[in-house]
């Protein structure tokens, strides 16, 4: 992907796109609106005839960060959620493998599914601070209920750095 207009990152990287709505934070999803615009543009990667905003894995994008030599702050899955239940564990491992091999970059993961992130990172017994010091993990908290549910899960999840959005 190209340069980003998001002020807290330099680029976006979308090896996974699409999502399903499940909380109040999903009501005005910018990624879904952007997807709707892009699915009509030939060659955009969203014009494949799949159901609108369905989960898509993009193997052709997987190795993109390995080609970027200059250190970048990379928003991972700005057009989806890496920890969506429809994304296979093996694909998440592949994404982590790329992030591990591109340590010159800082990868910023944001999810509304911290329970899956906690399970995945705990299941694989990953020491994020030691094994992946270049990966930050954050959760979206759109209201107090989401904060009460997601922040404790984030705090229980191994991460080099944690943040809230």
Q: Give the residue among 1, 158, 15 at the shortest CA–CA distance from 94.
A: 15
Whole-Å CA distances, 156 to 21, 57, 122, 128, 162: 24, 28, 9, 12, 11
pTM score, whole prediction: 0.84
pLDDT classification of 6: cutoffs 50, 70, 90: confident
pLDDT classification of 9: cutoffs 50, 70, 90: confident
Mean pLDDT across 70-92: 94
Mean pLDDT across 4-29: 78
Q: What is the pLDDT of residues 25-51, one digit of tens each?
A: 656 655 566 656 666 566 656 555 565
Rounded to an integer, what distance in angstroms lies between the CA atom of residue 85 and that of residue 81?
9
Q: What is the pLDDT of residues 100-112, one digit of tens each?
A: 999 999 999 999 9
Amino acid 95: pLDDT:
96
Q: Residue 10: pLDDT above 90? A: yes
Mean pLDDT across 128-144: 87
Amino acid 93: pLDDT:
92
């Amino acid at each position: 992907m190209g340069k980003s207009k998001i002020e807290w990152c330099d680029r976006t990287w979308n090896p996974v796109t699409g999502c399903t709505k499940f909380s109040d934070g999903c009501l005005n999803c910018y990624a879904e609106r952007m997807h709707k615009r892009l699915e009509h543009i030939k060659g955009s990667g969203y014009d494949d005839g799949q159901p609108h905003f369905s989960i898509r894995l993009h193997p052709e994008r997987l190795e993109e960060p390995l080609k970027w030599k200059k250190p970048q702050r990379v928003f991972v899955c700005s057009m989806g959620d890496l920890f969506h239940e429809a994304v296979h564990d093996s694909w998440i491992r592949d994404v982590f493998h790329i992030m591990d091999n591109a340590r010159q970059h800082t990868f910023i993961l944001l999810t509304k599914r911290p329970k899956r992130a906690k399970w995945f990172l705990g299941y694989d017994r990953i020491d994020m601070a030691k094994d992946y010091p270049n990966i930050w993990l954050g959760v979206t908290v759109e209201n107090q209920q989401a904060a009460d549910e997601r922040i404790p899960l984030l705090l229980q999840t191994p991460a080099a750095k944690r943040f809230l959005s």
